[in-house]
Every structure is written in C-alpha cells, then in structure tokens.
Structure 1
C-alpha cells in the first residue's frame, strides 16, 4: 500500500511540474509575442521566406560583366586578373586602366579623380566601364561611381605563406640594410633575423617596401597603417568588407574559389580556366617552421583576423553550392589538365621580372588560344590598353 502511495505521489509531482513548465512557457511566449498570428498569416510568412531563398539560389539568366576585382599582393591575384582580362578581351569589355603606369596607386585608395589619367572606354561601351582588375587599395563608393551595379570580388591568402612570399618576392633580405650581410654570406636566415625584431627592421624601410611587409591584405581593404593594432578599427574594416564584397576567394583553395566565382558571375567552365601566373623563383623562397609562423601571425595580426573571418564564410558558401560541388571540381581539374597538356612545355621555363618569376614556356606549336591563356596581368593590361586607345582614336 505504501509503495502505491509513493508511486502516485511521484506521478502527481511530475504532472504538476510539467503543468507549471507549460504555464511558464506560455507566459514567456505571450511576453515575447504579444499577438499570436493566425495560421494563414503564418503560412504566408513561411512562403515568403521560401521565395527569398529561391531567389537567392535561383540560376542566373545571363553572365555578369560589371566587375570590380580588388587585386591583392602575393595571393594568386595575378592569375585571377589575367582570367578577367581574357574574358573582357573576348567579350569586348572596357577596363579601368591608367594611361601609362601599371597601377593608379599602391598606397592611396581608389577615387574617381584618378580617372582623369585613365584610358577611355571602348566606343561600344557608351562612355562606361565594365571591369577593374589591377592593384589599388579599395574604396567602394568611389568604384561604384565609375562602374555601376558591379559585382565585387577579391582573393586573400593565409598570412604566413603570404608574408613569406612577399618577403621573398620583393627581395627584402637584400633591400633591408640590417639584413643584407646575412643574406649575402648565408650566415643566418634573413627571414628569421627580421622576425626576431620586426619593428626595428620595418622602421628602417623606405615607404615603397613598408607598405607590403605588414598587414598588406587588410591595408588593401581600407585599413590605415596607423590602425594596424587598433582592434576596433580592424573589426570595422572586416565588417564593412563582409557587406561590400560578393565573394572573397581563398588562395589555398583556388579551384574551389573559381567554382564559386563561376556561379556568382554566371560564367561557363571555359571562362575560369587558367595557367598559373607570377610563380616565384625558388631562389626567393624561405623555409617556415612553427616559430617563424607564430612570429609572422603576431606581426600580421590584422591580416590574420581578416583571413579567419573570410575562411569561415568561404566554407559556408561552398556548403550552399550544393551536392554537385565535388563533381564540378573534378570537371574543372580535368579541363585544367587538358589545358596544360595542350599548351605547356612543362619541362621548360624562363626566368623573368628581375629574376623573381619562373615562367612556364608554351609549346613551340602553341595555338593562339594557348597564347592568350598564358597572358599575365602585365600582358593583358598592355593589350587592353592598346585596344581601347586605338578604338577611341579611330572613332574620333
């Protein structure tokens, strides 16, 4: 008898607590949602969310040709620029290019006044520009004044490999006086010496080298050098970039990035094929270890925060791509293998750009298609500049 009473007591307590929990839940809902919607209204909202999702992921109807590409340093950006230039060449697009110099500025953010020294657009463009694909720090409002309704794209790289690449490519070991002796006699690794006291070596640099040897990636996004250690300002620049860019590609996942770019721009697979450009000479490479990597990340903290943010958003975009991503990746890589097989003489290369680049040679009987595929950004800039100048002179 006593056991039955205890069981009934436990059951009653259970139902009482459940009832109290239900009352509390209803009270909370009443506080947070004072008006309970009718079921038809609820259904209409669900359908609206479904419509928004469908529009966001609906297949596009035509290729996008208004593009602003923020070209960053030592991130495979030259390969992307060359790709955009080839596409523009084939589709008769007008590029924002300086009249003579390779860039508008490596330090000052883009502004519309720079267009006073720009090559005019093609006559067929009705006085408007389509694409920007060369180095200049970012300023969206100014770009928007020159290229209307553009898609904004850029690419970044892990700060450790990006900094090592920059340090080597710009021959910092021979251009920093305090490192020159170590570099010439090989007694110590110049990169290690720099990282032991980066601030001292950095402060001895000329401005044209200073601007590439610390947080250069986020500098191109708009962060000023004086704010490199200002966490609040760094966060603001990253938040702004997240809103302003339609795609931030990741150099370490280059082919994956191109699939996202292709879908964003509604391009074909043929449009995103490439031959790797601006590959650094092996003589300008430095070994990396755990200590060097840690020091580089400490020296480039703002860049690292930028990278971590967009590396996370990158993989969310890959997930949104859907189940066909891996199949498309295999297809792209098969096509790239075919390009290399058809165009490149893999065993041969030439050293170019002041002994900084190893350029893979084309086959002797390479087609005109292969020759255009092998454009780097310098060649593309020269060809497009000449075409826009020629067409404007002949039309006047």
Structure 2
C-alpha cells in the first residue's frame, strides 16, 4: 500500500481517533523517543544512564557508534557515523540518542523519530571547566596546572588546541556545534540562544538535577520511578593527588570567565528560563516531587546495598559503585560506567537487528495483506505485535483493518496498548 493510500484510509476513518479520544480520557502517552545532547562534564552521564536503562527495558533503538562512545566530535554529527552493525535500514528512525556528539539539528532530526523531544543540559561554566581539567588530567596535555594555565595571555589561550580536539573553552557552545571561529563573531550569543530555544524542548540545569529530572519526566510523561539515579562520574577528592580540584585566585577566576564568556552568557540565560519553567510547573508541586525523587533515590541506594569502590577506574579518579552479584537488574545497571553499558546495548542491538521481523516501514504493506483475510485475523496480528508499534502506527493499523465492524475488539486492543505504554 502506498503512502497516499494510507493517508486516504486515515481520512476515511478519522472517526476512529475522535471516538477513542473521547472514551479513553488519557492525559498523555509515555514517550519512548528522545534526543539528549550529552554535554561534557554537566552530569550528563547520570541522565544517559537513565535513558539507557529505559531504552534497554523497552527494546528501543539507540544511535550508536561502531566502537567506543562518541558519535561525532570533533566532527559534527552525520548519519554515516552510526555503526554499520547497529544501523537501521534506510528510512527507519531511531528512538534514543544519548551519546556524545557535536550537534547538528538537520542531521540529528533526519534520523530521529518525529515525536522525539530534544533535551540538553548545562552547568555553571567555571565549575564545568575546573572539573573537566581535573577529570581529563589536562595538565599533562598543556604541561601546566590549571592555575598556571590561566596565568597565560588570553590571546594564546583562545588559540590553544583542544584536548583530543574536542575538549576545551566554551565547551557547552562547542558541543552545541559552534566552531572556535564562530565563538568570536558578533551577536553569536543571541543567535545561539535563539537557536537552542527554538530547537530544544528542555534545557536541564546540572545544579538542579532533581528538578531537571522532574521536568524531564513530565515532558516524557514518565513516572518518577523511571528517572531514579545515583550520580555517576563525580570526581573523588584525594588530598595528595592530581585529582584534587584546584583553588583559583580572583585573577585566575576572572581569566577563566573571559575565556568561557559565551558559555557563561548561555548558562545565565537558560538558568533564568529554567527558573521560570519551574514557576509555570508550580513551585509547591515541584518541591513535593523533588522530595519524592530524593526519597526514591535514597531507597534505591539502600535497597541495592551499593558498595563504593576504593579506587577509581579509567581516565581519572571518579567515584564508582559496585552492586552485589544477586542484586536486581536496576542495581547492576545503575552502577555501570558509560563504556560498559554502551557495549552491552551495542551487542544487544546488533543481535536484535539481525533477528527482528518486519520494520515499521513495512507495516502498511503487511497489514494491508492481512486484510485479505478476515478482520478478526487482522486484529489478532495487531494484538500480537503491540510492543512494536507507536500510537500512530497502531491507529493506522486499526484503520486499515477496519474499525466499524467491531468497536469492542478495537477498544480492547487500544486499552491493552495504553496499559503497556503508560
């Protein structure tokens, strides 16, 4: 069946949705797709873990690289950067994008499902820079400590190479796709702020993580249980090590602010917008739900009986946790570092793509073919594959099967779909 024929069917059976909408009284449907811009050292690994848990449990498709955990950066994202073995057939869209990249709206939008919200996160830029310098041990790259680095000439600092060609000044703007040359252009802040406002549905603020996740859960129509977390990749403070965060003088802090002026303007702007969004949400409601989430996190930590590991792993000394061997799945997933969790999801997605049945692109043809049998057989085919459909695909299937012959069968299928997706 051609797209034009499907559209004709939908128009013909428009009363399907109208009548269901009146009968079901559903506030909103749980969203299962989202683009999350994972900005460096903004607490983004904590949010990413939430998304990876959710996507894994619902067998959703992730945008993933062939190896490691970057899908672009320093290059801007393009679909060609998606790993060959985890790539969906042409025309199919992805559910979740939660790995490091360099933002390009046109390219990201081209591979995400139409209903996917766009979400970013920002952190106070001087705290971000201090944390980043320590986390990546950048004193080895630049040959000096952060305080001594900030005592150098501003012109030199603005031309200093980026660590791994991707980490450095104005990191938020860089991850949003702004080039070093563009950072010096007149009106770049106004242009970038307007772009983010128009293209992103939510900008989370690291310093208000619980409130950010309450707003995110509301945006996604998820219960708060879905956004429970423990903080990942937080630096471990060790007195006699390179991982102790430096204390900067007023002059050094002033230089750090000049060097990251664009990020500071962005953060200030979106922090104010965030506060207004909380007021729109309702201050009392927000306080209540933040407290609920804090209690849920504490209960999760205690129930999982997590152990803090003595030594950090990876590029620097960060706090790591360990779950018991017989702990529930969420306890094991919530302590996974990004690379290990990514490897698990990548392997599962490779296997799923090899073993899966027809794609959503083929849905219209398969349902149209099934209609050659009885309407009952068509409806049974829909019921078998409920988890494979989003709401639009399900409505389309019901329309093509033929709604008018048995309203109670249709309402039963719809109620089952809502139960599985709310």
TM-score over 0.5 for the alignment?
yes
| TM alignment of 1:33-182, pairs within 5 A | 60-115=27-82, 117=84, 119-121=86-88, 127-149=92-114, 150-177=116-143, 179=144
CA distance in 2, matches of 1:92, 1:308: 38
- Structure 2 CA distance, aligned partners of 1:117 and 1:202? 39
Answer whether contact 1:97 1:118 (CA < 8 A) is retained.
no
- 8 Å contact from structure 2 (residues 147, 248) kept in 1: no
Q: Distance in 2 between matches of 1:207 and 1:73?
A: 13
- Between the aligned partners of 1:369 and 1:198, the Cα distance in structure 2 is 49
RMSD in angstroms over aligned alpha carbons?
Answer: 2.5
TM-score (norm 2): 0.72
Residue 227 (structure 1) aligned to one of 182, 187, 193? 182
Q: Within 1, Cα distance between the matches of 2:180 and 2:140?
A: 24
Relative to 1, partners in 2 of residues 1:60 and 1:249: Cα closer, same or farther, differing over 3 Å? farther
- Quick check: 1:153–1:247 contact (8 Å CA) kept in 2? yes
SS at match of 1:262: helix
Deviation at 1:355, TM superposition (A): 3.6
Aligned mates of 2:286, 2:234 — CA distance in 1: 28
Do the aligned partners of residues 395 and 365 (structure 1) sit closer, same or farther apart at CA in structure 2, a change above 3 Å counting?
A: closer
Deviation at 1:392, TM superposition (A): 2.4
Task: Please give the TM-score of this superposition, normalised by the length of structure 1.
Answer: 0.76
Gaps (5+ residues) in structure 1? 1-57, 180-189
**Range moving further from structure 2, 190-199 or 65-74:** 190-199
Shift of residue 239, structure 1, vs aligned partner: 0.9
Which residue is equivalent to 1:197? 152
**Aligned equivalent of 1:4:** none
Equivalent of 1:318 in 252, 255, 278: 278
Residues in 1 aligned to 2:78 and 2:315: alpha-carbon distance in whole angstroms: 31
Q: Which has the higher helix share?
A: 1
Q: Does 1:302 align with 2:267?
A: no
Q: After TM superposition, list the pairs within 5 Å mapping 1:302-381 onto structure 2.
A: 302-322=262-282, 323-346=284-307, 348-363=309-324, 366-381=327-342
Judge conservation of contact 1:202–1:210 (CA < 8 Å) in 2.
no
CA distance 1:231–1:311, change in 2 (3 Å): farther
Q: Residue by residue, what CA displacement relative to the aligned partner does 1:340-383 show, whole Å, maximum 9, x if unpaired?
A: 11224455443100343221333465333310222232222111
2:72–2:101 CA contact under 8 A, matched in 1: yes
Partner Cα separation in structure 2 for residue 254 and residue 198 of structure 1: 35
Q: Distance in 2 between matches of 1:354 and 1:388?
A: 27
1:261-280 matches, cutoff 5 A? 261-280=216-235
Q: Are the counterparts in 1 of residues 73 and 101 from structure 2 also a CA contact under 8 Å? A: yes
Q: Is the 8 A contact 2:66 2:85 kept in 1?
A: yes
- How far did 1:208 drift? 3.8
Q: CA deviation at 1:234?
A: 2.7
CA offsets 1:305-353 (integer angstroms, 9 cap, x no match)? 1101100110011011113111111111011111111224455443100
Q: Distance in 1 between matches of 2:32 and 2:68?
A: 25
Contact 1:195 1:295 (C-alpha < 8 Å) held by counterparts: yes
Kindly state the Cα deviation for residue 255 of structure 1 after the two structures are TM-superposed.
Answer: 0.7
- 1:272: Cα distance to partner? 0.3
User: How far apart, in 2, do the equivalents of 1:288 and 1:265 lie?
Assistant: 40
Structure 2 residue matching 1:154: 3-state secondary structure: strand
Cα distance between partner residues in 1 of 2:122 and 2:57: 27
Give the superposition deviation at 1:388: 1.0
Say if 1:176 and 1:201, in contact at 8 Å, map to a contact too.
no
Q: From the superposition, tell whether residues 163 and 354 of structure 1 become closer, same or farther in structure 2 (CA, over 3 Å).
A: closer
Does residue 213 of the first structure (1) align with residue 168 of the second (2)? Answer: yes
CA deviation after TM superposition for structure 1 residue 60, in Å: 4.2
Q: How far did residue 161 of structure 1 move?
A: 0.3
SS in 1 for 2:181: helix
Note if contact 2:309-2:319 (Cα within 8 Å) is conserved in structure 1.
no
Number of residues of Structure 1 aligned to a counterpart in Structure 2: 326
1:390 CA displacement: 1.1
> 1:263, 1:59 → 2: CA distance?
14
After superposition, where does 1:4-15 map in structure 2 within 5 Å?
none
Q: Which residue of 1 aligns with 2:200?
A: 245
**In 2, are the aligned partners of 1:167 and 1:173 still within 8 Å (CA)?**
yes
Shift in CA distance, 394/118, structure 1 to aligned 2, threshold 3 Å: closer
